[in-house]
Structures are given as structure tokens and as C-alpha cells.
Amino acid sequence: MKNEIQEPTAKSLVDMIGPSLGCDFTYEPVYPKSRRDVCAVRRLAENGSTYGYDTIYLIWRPKDKDELKFEALLNSKCSKDYIHIDEVVEDERNILIKVYSGGSYSGSSWNETYRRDKRELSLE
């Protein structure tokens, strides 16, 4: 696929743009089952002992473009909770990024769905 975002490319981009506290980790991208030109990536920034948080990024390659675009969807700087990507799905008009947290630090679990219009991302 011409516009495919390779896993190492997505992780490398997040390593460059993501926060760093010294003991960091970038997780594997999560793609919709139907395409590989958009994905979500989790970045864990930790100092190794007392503080850390996650940031979830959406990465996409607009149709007929070589450049990658990205958006930080959310982070847990305040709550310090781990944020997990449940799945990334495509419907007729949108890319849906489903995330959740067990409330690892705050004690309050939650889940959220972020919706991005495929036309606004230039994926159509």
C-alpha cells in the first residue's frame, strides 16, 4: 500500500515528538483492521522512580502525500494513570480511537472514544 505507515516509522516519529523524562517507552502502533495509513501510538514518559504519564497520538498519512501528520489526543500528566489503546476502527465517515484506563493512580477507571473525520484528515 502506497500510503502505509510502517511500525518503525510511527514509533520513530513519536520518539521524536513525544515527551521524555529519561525512562521512556513507545508502544507498537494500533491500526484499524481496514487500513494502514492511520494509527494510534502510546508514549510512556517516566523518570524511573516517582513520576510518569502516557500520551496517545494519532498519526496519519494524507491521501497522495508523502508527509506524516500527527495529533496528540490526550495525556495523563495530571492523573498519572496509564492510558491504553483499546482499538482503532474505521466507520463510514470517521476514524475512532477507543482508549481506556483502569485508574492505576487516580483510582477511577474510565474509557473514551475520540472521533476524527476522514475527510478532515484527508484520508479520502
Predicted confidence (pLDDT) per residue in 38-85, tens digit: 999 999 999 999 999 999 999 999 998 889 999 999 999 999 999 999
Residue 108 lies in a domain: yes
What is the reported pLDDT for 1?
Answer: 61
Residue 20 lies in a domain: yes
Residue 1 lies in a domain: no
User: How many CB atoms are closer than 10 A to CB 106?
Assistant: 14
Number of domains, the chain: 1
Interior angle at CA 42, CA 39 and CA 48, nearest 5 = 160
107 phi-psi bin (left φ>0, alpha ψ -120 to 50, beta other): left
Name the residue range of residue 44's domain.
Answer: 7-117
Nearest CA-CA partner of 23 in 1, 52, 60: 52
Tell me the DSSP string of 84-95.
EEEEEEE-SSEE
Residue 46 lies in a domain: yes
Q: Is residue 97 very low, low, confident or very high in pLDDT (cuts 50, 70, 90)? A: very high
23 DSSP 8-state letter: S
- Give pTM, 2 decimals: 0.95
Residue 2 lies in a domain: no
